[in-house]
Structure 1
Amino acid sequence: MDSNHGWPEPIIRVQSLSESGTETIPTRYIKPPSDRPNIEANSSTLSIPVIDLSAMSKEEMASAVSAACREWGFFQVVNHGVRPELVRHAQEIWRGFFRLPMEEKQRYANSPTTYEGYGSRLGVEKGVSLDWGDYYFLHVLPSCLKNHEKWPALPPDLRDITDEYSRELLNLCGRVMEAMSIGLGLDPTRLQESFGGTEVGACLRVNYYPKCPQPELTLGLSSHSDPGGMTVLLVDNHVRGLQIRKGSDWVTVEPIRDAFILNVGDQIQVLSNAIYKSVEHRVMVNAANERLSMAFFYNPKADLPLSPIRELITPDRPALYKPMSFNEYRLYIRQRGPRGKSQVESLKTSQ
């Protein structure tokens, strides 16, 4: 059950803790009272925008996406063009992976140097509070990082389905990037070019949140904003878990069947000079149900220094961020793990 692989402490799989029948969670998973979720009720009556991509012209889509990125940083898309059968198959096949015997999953145990593989923690600081969740992380782009041998061999068609699913999501990301760019008053391809054109990065993190005997004391994933460019999230449609910070409220997202939840990452906040904002979010766990989510991260070219797009810098709105590559930026995350919006705030200039 334990595997170090360069981690500062023995790795305990949360799924093993859950399946052990324990009625109390270890102290390491208990969050400070101020960080604990409000499980009894949706702490806000607000809801994130829902955008029907089949019913819109390019201009209408750009307007709707831009408004959601400015006001919320999050939105759901329906009728997005990805086949519902593929969406459901991808969910089921990854659920199948987490149901495999532990020794089969342990073959893919990850390390802090790449995160690729089967994991149970993010930051590498010793003694920090842990989250109630396991995950599998893999690279899709660039092709030099993609290695099927590091993807699970079981269930048998997992690699093929994940490939097909990733291709569809890359197409969706391209459409949304164009809408975001037009919504900023830029040429349709400007934001994509700032990402590195065709030399973007993409990766998939499949999160597994087992049943938790004391869900009111912990989180599946601590509050954070996503470090990359844009995230396309697929969640179980029957189990609520994702919460988004809106001012002083935490808004619990009501998932829609076969929809994707999209959100702005820190790199798009930087490129847009904070016109579009990445937003803190966190994940609640559940005593009665396990929960699976699939987060597809669409990221800029890793070694490209990013700073606000020059057309978005004006005398009234000077550049808010100093240049930094995504590679340099995510090193910050790897050391500390998820910590609100402290990462992107650390990039701000002194102006």
Structure 2
Amino acid sequence: MKSPQDWPEPIVRVQSLSDSGISTIPNKYVKPPIERPSLSNSFNNDINIPTIDFLGLFTSDGNNYANKSIIYEQISEACRNWGFFQVVNHGVPPELMDEAREVWREFFHHPMDVKQTYANTPKTYEGYGSRLGVEKGAILDWSDYYFLHYLPCSLKVHNKWPAFPLSLRKVIEEYSKQVVKFCGRLMKILSSNLGLKEDVLQNAFGGDRDIGACLRVNFYPKCPQPDLTLGLSPHSDPGGMTILLPDQHVAGLQVRRDGHWITVKPASHAFIVNIGDQIQVLSNAIYKSVEHRVIVNSAEERVSLAFFYNPKSDLLIEPVKELVTKQNPPLYPPRTFDEYRLYMRTKGPQGKSQLGESDKSQDEK
């Protein structure tokens, strides 16, 4: 199955709809009643995903051994029971995080005809986009985005990155470099916590040289009827691991837990980390990828940066042999990351169906 060359319908930029001053959203953005955020069991309380402080984790000070053990255990607990956690004191400079978010906000506020020169297609998704999935007549999400490749180097073409603001390419190059370094460290911890050698998961991804890394910048414009639509429909990430830089001032990410939607409250200069489908497969479901979605609001726009750390696209991904026993047989057949990714690019975000898991099975976990 190959990716189509173009979208099934003319592309409408959600930002243009928002800026036009409409009071009702077009029908193609209106979700079925059961999927609308006002009717779908959102929690309105103080529950939040775990927050883990990495301060001192990567230093060589022997006095930090006990502290490191505690942090490892917190990460293990979060990966097994939540699939999501926030990390503070992760080593990426706070000022770089702020700058990365704001150069993209500035990009999205450039004139539409200038942004249109970067319009994407479903063939690679790289560039300026406004929909996922290529099914004609699909109900769409209330968001625009920009997608770009960082690794492997053969896919990174700076000319496909916006040339404005003038600092964008330099800032995002440095930001991506820092996040990849953070991901490499985190992969060692995830592997060790499974009782494996610390390089097992990284090697299953293709090693340091062959991993894939890409960035999706999400722009969620103001919406006149936020109770009828979503910025991003429920899904689990088909890749390996996602590092999200959220909007510090506007909440929107919701994580599904026990049949309810929990709105994530971002900590200051924290990364939100979530397990993707490929790590769930490699861990034979010891670690969980979890459904999440994004809500929008009528008062404020929202910008977030989702950095995806993925296996080499054509490698077969299957449960790590050391984690498979007679009592715990492999839960997933060998498949390439490309197969998972193409499923989502064809169907759009649809829960965890790419893993063969239903909404009901998700609720029971």
Assess same fold via TM > 0.5. Answer: yes
8 Å Cα contact 1:61-1:179 kept in structure 2: no
8 Å Cα contact 1:245-1:281 kept in structure 2: yes
Deviations 1:284-341 (A, max 9, x none): 0010000000000000011100000000001111000000011122111111000001
Distance in 2, matches of 1:76 and 1:66, equals 13
Alignment match of 1:107 (pick from 100, 117, 139): 117
Q: Structure 1: where are the runs of 5+ without partners?
A: none
1:50 corresponding residue in structure 2 = 51
Distance in 1, matches of 2:136 and 2:100, equals 34
1:68 corresponding residue in structure 2 = 78
Distance in 2, matches of 1:193 and 1:69, equals 20
1:11 corresponding residue in structure 2 = 11
Distance in 1, matches of 2:82 and 2:340, equals 23
Structure 2 letter corresponding to 1:149: N
1:173 corresponding residue in structure 2 = 183
Distance in 1, matches of 2:42 and 2:265, equals 12
Alignment match of 2:145 (pick from 132, 135, 150): 135
Structure 1 letter corresponding to 2:116: Q
Distance in 2, matches of 1:95 and 1:104, equals 15
> Does 2:292 match 1:318?
no
Deviation at 1:5, TM superposition (A): 6.8
Alignment match of 1:238 (pick from 229, 237, 249): 249
Q: Partner of 1:321: helix, strand, or coil?
A: coil
Aligned length: 344
Q: Partner of 2:307: helix, strand, or coil?
A: strand
1:286 corresponding residue in structure 2 = 297
Alignment match of 2:276 (pick from 265, 269, 293): 265
CA spacing shift, 1:278–1:41, aligned 2, 3 Å:
closer
1:124 corresponding residue in structure 2 = 134
1:37 corresponding residue in structure 2 = 37
Distance in 1, matches of 2:5 and 2:267, equals 38
Alignment match of 2:287 (pick from 276, 279, 282): 276
Structure 1 letter corresponding to 2:232: L
Out of 4-13 and 249-258, give the one that drifted further: 4-13
Q: Partner of 2:216: helix, strand, or coil?
A: strand
8 Å Cα contact 1:37-1:219 kept in structure 2: yes
Deviation at 1:346, TM superposition (A): 6.4
Q: Partner of 2:37: helix, strand, or coil?
A: coil
2:345 corresponding residue in structure 1 = 334
Q: Structure 2: where are the runs of 5+ without partners?
A: 58-64, 359-365
Q: Partner of 2:227: helix, strand, or coil?
A: helix
1:144 corresponding residue in structure 2 = 154
Structure 2 letter corresponding to 1:37: P
Q: Partner of 2:317: helix, strand, or coil?
A: coil
Structure 2 letter corresponding to 1:93: V
8 Å Cα contact 2:42-2:261 kept in structure 1: no
Distance in 2, matches of 1:241 and 1:173, equals 24
Paired-residue identity, %:
61
Q: Partner of 2:196: helix, strand, or coil?
A: coil
Deviations 1:175-214 (A, max 9, x none): 1111101111111111111111121000000000000000
2:61 corresponding residue in structure 1 = none
Distance in 1, matches of 2:37 and 2:352, equals 18
Q: Partner of 2:70: helix, strand, or coil?
A: helix
1:307 corresponding residue in structure 2 = 318
Q: Partner of 2:98: helix, strand, or coil?
A: helix
8 Å Cα contact 1:5-1:109 kept in structure 2: no
CA spacing shift, 1:192–1:41, aligned 2, 3 Å:
closer
Report the TM-score when normalising by structure 1: 0.95
